[in-house]
Amino acid sequence: MAGGEAVRAGVVPVLAAACLWGTVGPAQLLADAGVDPVALGSCRMLLGGVVLCAVAVRPAGLRTLWRPGARSWLLLSVAVTALFQAAFLPAVDRTGAAVATAVAFGTVPMVSGLCARLVQGERLGAAWYGGTAFAVAGIGLLLLPGSGGRTDLPGVLLAAVAGASFGVYIVAGKRLAAAGAEPSAAAPVSVLGAGLLVAPWIAAAPAGLGSPRALALIGWLALGTTALGYLLFTRGARQIGAATTGTLSLAEPLVAALLGVLLLGERPGGWAVLGMALLLGGLLVVAVPVRGRPRPTAESL
């Protein structure tokens, strides 16, 4: 395949995956299924993880995950994937799709960079410091009185916890790969394992999960945003550079914000809009390559 065609073949699936992921929060609120967000996240991970494992995982790949140097990082990946789901969907429920997604993914580069520094000794460059300053300022503005919408403290903090969880997951994924684990097996197993870890919540809060609205929502979140999104992303990321992949991933919070305004009637106040702009600006600072600066990894956003 020619270079230009390869790039196009990578851009389209990665952009499509980012757009699918951007629908998670809006779909949750639009369905208005009246179910517990953590139980919903568990159902999403269980069904999506089963489908991903059936499609993408092979026995040889599974064996690589339990090597002595990989198993502890796999267990950490499962734990933080579960924490992401347990925090993100409740954050959407409390603050709305636009704010929750902006806070979560604005926090990711800050935490992943710090973890990479502590675990792998990676140098923190000017882009990381700039993106972190943007993220901290943006979250601070969202917490100011008069931000509008539903930007309460617990919701914003839950979104930040979700972003921090994903930041740790990125570093754990790198360590898994360095230990010889097969990446195409690690992510599906992490999703399924996280679903099993949070599964008791389904028994604790089962109300409404069998309703038509809830089943449709679970189907979309599990099959559309999780299974299909992952398959599209991994297919496209192999064709394009890590910097391009990171930049395209910016579509996720933008799609969530756009759908929140157009479909859900979310109208954040002036401080909230400025805060989200700073969070997205921080993502842009980290994602866009600058000459002489190391490129972010494909999973960095």
- Angle at which helix 37-56 crosses helix 212-219, to 10 degrees, equals 40
Q: What local confidence, expressed as pLDDT, does residue 148 receive?
A: 57
pLDDT of residue 73: 93
In a domain, 299, yes or no: no
Residue 127 has what pLDDT? 81
User: In the numeric block, which tokens belong to residue 35?
Assistant: 């179910």
**Domain for residue 297, yes or no?**
no
Q: Report if residue 292 sits inside a domain.
A: no
Residue at 140 is within a domain: yes
The predicted model scores a pTM of: 0.84
Alpha carbon distance 171, 104 (integer Å)? 16
**For residue 234, what pLDDT is reported?**
82
The whole-number pLDDT of residue 289 equals 56
Task: Report the pLDDT value the prediction gives residue 219, as an integer from 0 to 100.
Answer: 96
pLDDT per residue as tens, the chain (301 positions) = 555 565 667 788 888 998 999 999 999 999 999 999 999 999 999 999 999 999 989 988 899 998 888 999 999 999 999 999 999 999 999 888 888 888 888 888 888 888 888 887 878 888 888 888 888 888 888 777 665 555 678 888 999 999 899 889 888 888 888 898 888 899 899 999 999 999 999 999 999 999 999 999 999 999 999 999 999 988 887 777 655 666 677 788 888 888 888 888 877 777 778 888 888 887 777 766 554 444 444 343 3
Q: How many domains does the chain have?
A: 1
Q: Which residue range is the domain that position 244 belongs to?
A: 3-287
What is the predicted pLDDT for the residue at 81?
A: 94
295, part of any domain: no
Residue 87, pLDDT score: 94
Residue identified by tokens 């757009």 is 19
Show the 3-state SS of the chain.
CCHHHHHHHHHHHHHHHHHHHCCHHHHHHHHCCCCCHHHHHHHHHHHHHHHHHHHHCCHHHHHHCCCCCCHHHHHHHHHHHHHHHHHHHHHHHHHCHHHHHHHHHHHHHHHHHHHHHHHHCCCCCHHHHHHHHHHHHHHHHHCCCCCCCCCCHHHHHHHHHHHHHHHHHHHHHHHHHHCCCCHHHHHHHHHHHHHHHHCHHHHHCCCCCCCHHHHHHHHHHHHHHHHHHHHHHHHHHCCCCHHHHHHHCCHHHHHHHHHHHHCCCCCCCHHHHHHHHHHHHHHHHHHCCCCCCCCCCCCCC
pLDDT at 109: 80
> What distance in Å separates the CA atoms of residue 193 and residue 85, rounded to the nearest whole number?
12
Q: How confident is the model at residue 113, as a pLDDT? A: 83
Q: What is the distance between the terminal CA atoms of the chain, rounded to a whole angstrom?
A: 27
Residue 198 lies in a domain: yes
pLDDT at residue 137, as a whole number: 86
Residue 160 included in any domain? yes
pLDDT value for 149: 54
Residue 77's Cβ-side half-sphere holds a number of Cα atoms within 13 Å equal to 26
Q: What pLDDT, on the 0 to 100 scale, is given for residue 241?
A: 66
The pLDDT tens digits of the residues spanning 196-223 come to 999 999 999 999 999 999 999 999 999 9
Does residue 161 lie within any of the structural domains? Answer: yes
